[in-house]
């Protein structure tokens, strides 16, 4: 050891500042690249999807299992935006959404009171939960019920519910929220009440059936039926929010699940792009591969199924709110289906069963016109049969159905308009439909 050595002979310690600066630059570049990747993922997503955060990570799947072999577990919560400018709203999908009703209502400006409208069955099952959630968020809440069933979606019931609404204490005002709690009948009726009372009240959809989840709850169509046909009296009135609690689907019987699946198949027939988060199966393939899990209402699969369908419906509604163009594609199966439903008698056949028959008849018509290959009809019929939906119905009167179609909302200049498939995932609107074609598609040779 050399005592008294000069400091110039000691080892040189490098200055740490350049190293720290370089590390910061590298981190900044990584952050920029990650943001660009997320942005590209969102831009490449199907229209209607909103990538809001990374909260759908694997750790939050709460025990979900892959819907298709080899795929990652399905997320348990989804949020999809319906883009309508200042009237845009979110559709939240997942277990437990009904218990978040109060928080969703309280988040709306000036929301102080709410009135829940439900049929008698749903009011008993879920009414207390809805009211408790609303009151827990600081809102006053009341509930109005009406008899269950499509046969009660009438002007008479509309008048009764409106009378009850105007008698609620404390009295309602334009800050009062209407909550539609139930299936498609409730959504249509409560939405029409919301559109009419005080010339328009805000409302929230809380659907409790698969049919309402994937169809009626999104898009703002409200209506009641008339003896001349379905949904002939109503209005467009968009909700402020939609909360879809898939856990309540476990209380439905098989027929109610199947009736909702008819609308899911319809979406797959008109648009092939129900592919959230980069999944590569088409909607029809997804339904086919997961039929057993869907029919048993397995929550993770139902969340995925509902989300894919809502994404398609939201994209269509965002592009064409008032059905002046692409939204008319959602009527595939409905021109014939509504006629069949009215002909057989409301309540005698479910809406989904009638739509199933309508899709098959309209697809037969398209095959006869050589608009699409027979393989399209085979694919449609095969999937509907697998799901337990009807493709034929004995005793239909084609002439009676044609007469009912003359009152269809889509008629223009006395001509029946119909959505016909041109390929799987592709449809077009035709306004030259002839009675002979409908008779052949519905006639005894097709039964």
pLDDT at 135 over 90: yes
Burial of residue 97 (CB within 10 Å: 0-12, 13-18, 19+) is buried
Burial state string for 336-356 with b = 16 or more CB within 10 A and e = fewer than 16:
bbbbbbbbbebeebbbbbbbb
C-alpha to C-alpha distance for 257 and 248, rounded to whole angstroms: 12
Number of CB atoms found within 10 A of residue 235's CB? 14
Question: Where is average pLDDT lowest: 33-42, 390-399, 402-411?
Answer: 33-42
| Tokens 């988060």, residue located | 277
Catalytic sites, residue numbers? 199, 221, 263, 313, 323, 327, 331, 334, 338, 351
Question: pLDDT over 90 for what percent of the chain?
Answer: 71
Spatial contact of 134 and 114, defined as CB atoms under 8 Å apart: yes
* pLDDT score of 385 more than 50: yes
State the pLDDT at residue 230. 84
Domain 332-446, CATH: 1.20.1090.10
Tokens of 354: 């009638």
Residue ranges of E strands in 308-423: 418-423
List pLDDT tens digits, range 147-172.
Answer: 999 999 999 999 999 999 999 999 99
Share of the chain above pLDDT 70, in %: 80
Query: What pLDDT, on the 0 to 100 scale, is given for residue 282?
Result: 86
SS3 75: coil
What is the number of H-type helices and E-type strands within the chain? 15, 11
Q: What does pLDDT average to over the chain? A: 84
Domain locations in the chain? 58-318, 332-446
Is domain 58-318 annotated with CATH 2.115.10.20? no
Residue 346: pLDDT band with limits 50, 70, 90: confident
pLDDT digits (tens, 9 = 90+) for 362-372: 999 999 999 99
Phi, psi of 207 (to 5 degrees): -70, 150
Alpha-carbon gap, residue 217 to 416, rounded angstroms? 27
Q: What pTM did the predictor assign?
A: 0.80
């Amino acid at each position: 050891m050399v005592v008294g050595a000069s400091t110039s002979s000691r080892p040189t310690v490098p200055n740490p500042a350049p190293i720290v600066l370089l590390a910061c630059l590298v981190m900044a570049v990584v952050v920029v690249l990650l943001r660009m990747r997320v942005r590209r993922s969102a831009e490449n997503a199907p229209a209607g999807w909103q990538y809001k955060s990374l909260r759908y990570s694997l750790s939050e799947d709460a025990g979900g299992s892959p819907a298709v072999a080899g795929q990652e577990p399905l997320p348990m919560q989804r949020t999809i935006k319906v883009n309508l400018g200042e009237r845009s709203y979110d559709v939240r999908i997942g277990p437990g959404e009904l218990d978040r009703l109060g928080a969703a209502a309280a988040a709306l400006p000036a929301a102080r009171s709410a009135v829940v409208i439900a049929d008698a069955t749903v009011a008993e099952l879920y009414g207390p939960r809805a009211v408790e959630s609303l009151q827990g968020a600081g809102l006053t809440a009341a509930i109005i019920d009406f008899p269950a069933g499509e046969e009660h979606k009438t002007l008479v019931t509309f008048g009764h519910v409106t009378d009850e609404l105007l008698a609620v204490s404390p009295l309602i005002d334009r800050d009062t929220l209407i909550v539609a709690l139930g299936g498609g009948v409730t959504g249509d009726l409560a939405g029409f009440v919301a559109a009419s009372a005080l010339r328009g009240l805000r409302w929230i959809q809380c659907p409790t059936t698969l049919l309402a989840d994937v169809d009626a709850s999104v898009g703002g169509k409200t209506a009641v039926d008339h003896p001349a046909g379905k949904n002939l009296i109503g209005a467009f009135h968009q909700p402020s929010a939609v909360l879809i609690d898939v856990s309540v689907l476990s209380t439905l019987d098989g027929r109610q699940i199947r009736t909702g699946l008819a609308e899911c198949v319809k979406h797959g027939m008109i648009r092939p792009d129900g592919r959230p988060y980069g999944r590569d199966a088409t909607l029809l393939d997804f339904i086919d591969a997961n039929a057993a899990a869907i029919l048993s209402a397995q929550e993770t699969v139902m969340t995925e199924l509902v989300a894919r369908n809502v994404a398609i419906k939201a994209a269509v509604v965002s592009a064409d709110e008032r059905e002046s163009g692409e939204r008319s594609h959602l009527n595939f199966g409905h021109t014939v289906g509504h006629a069949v439903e009215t002909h057989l008698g409301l309540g005698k056949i479910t809406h989904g069963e009638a739509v199933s028959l309508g899709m098959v008849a309209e697809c037969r018509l398209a095959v006869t016109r050589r608009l699409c290959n027979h393989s399209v009809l085979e694919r449609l019929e095969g999937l509907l049969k697998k799901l337990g939906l009807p493709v034929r119905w004995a005793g239909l009167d084609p002439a009676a159905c044609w007469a009912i179609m003359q009152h269809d909302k889509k008629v223009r200049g006395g001509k029946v308009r119909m959505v016909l498939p041109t390929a799987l995932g592709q449809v077009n609107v035709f306004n030259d439909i002839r009675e002979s074609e409908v008779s052949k598609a519905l006639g005894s040779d097709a039964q």
